[in-house]
Amino acid sequence: MEISYLIYSLTYFLFTFRFCSCDKNNPNIDRLQLSVESPRLEKRNFSPSNFNGEVEITDNVYERLVYFSKASAMTGCITRGNLLTGKTLDTGCPRHIQFCHDTEVNPTLSDTWIASVFLAEKGELGTGYVAIDHEKKVVICAFRSSTTREDWISDFEITPTKYKPSCYKEYKKLIKKGVIKECTDCFIHYGFSKFTKTLGKKFLRMIENILNEYPEYKIVVTGHSLGAALASITGIELKLRGFEPLVLTYATPRLFNLPMRKWVDELFETEHQHDLNMQNKEITFDRGYYRVIHNGDYIAKLPPFYYPAGLEIFIEKLSIPHLKGDIRYIGQVEAGFSKPDLGTNNIRGKVEEWLHTEQHRTYFINLAGCKGF
């Protein structure tokens, strides 16, 4: 195994272990007293090949980006048992969360029901919730970022494993009918794939039941970091089941090998979706696979030798607040592996500066913990 692979893998582990979803009130997390030099950040090059200013970030698109960032942050409330199934947001969510109790922040909070809260047990992966907004006619599925020891172990299990969807029979039927191509030589991040083998089947049956009950409702799957990876996998499963989800993720780690990345883009019709965005001169947010990536967030460049799928929306500004003018539509990015420049003397300074952890936590709001939104 190459030395660079080990270095970036260790970086990824340290990063997710300490900073993905930490907050000072979590007794399971100790602050790492390490010191390293802050590396030079590899920034996005806004060249004509990967950025087109013709695609406007409209008020509606910006509001939805912020809205689903907060929906992702709500998963942090599950850790403390503060999200209650069968309640509306204003009765089943902590009082200090404005998103659940202030109609100026969230006008449809009293029409949004928490349909289910699912908590991963030992040996399982995938904690989150499903909510139904009857005013907007949308089903929201959100996954939590790395919080438990099991989550962190899954983050670090980066060995590629052969991809096999949870709904394997449906997958084979679609191939036989010629609706989709077979995912040949497809491999996926092993740790993330455990979701389909543990909670995935039960969870997806529940989602199917809700969508069949409300066939006119849209489905949005979202999450941050580990939650973004699980949202990506869930979006694939829903596509194979005949639904048209909008997968909108924040700080998505890389989880596909190159053949699978190409297959996922074909499944979500990513190129066609990009053409629609260009034609309409704004982002079409009714379906597709979108990744919101922050300037300076290294987790989106890791693990090594995996590739991103979908269309990228880029936050150019380092610190919050992130306003509409700070957002850029990138579209499809090059498939090549881009890694952070660690510099030559990288055993000094502060680990937070080295790993740009603040950028990983801040996507329109600070996503760490059940607070501040």
List active site positions.
Answer: 225, 297, 360
* Range list of H helices, 214-287: 226-240, 258-267, 270-280
Single-letter residue type at 119: L
Query: What is d(CA 100, CA 109) in angstroms, rounded to the nearest whole number?
Result: 6
Which tokens belong to 373? 């939104």
Give the start-end residues of each E strand in the chain.
112-118, 128-133, 138-143, 160-162, 187-189, 218-224, 246-250, 288-294, 311-315, 327-331, 362-363, 365-366
User: DSSP state, 88?
Assistant: B
The string of DSSP letters for 272-308 reads HHHHHHHHHTB--TTSEEEEEEETT-GGGG-STT-B-
Give the orientation angle of helix 226-240 with respect to helix 200-213, to 10 degrees: 60
Cβ–Cβ under 8 Å, residues 166 and 200: yes
Give the start-end residues of each E strand in 165-228.
187-189, 218-224
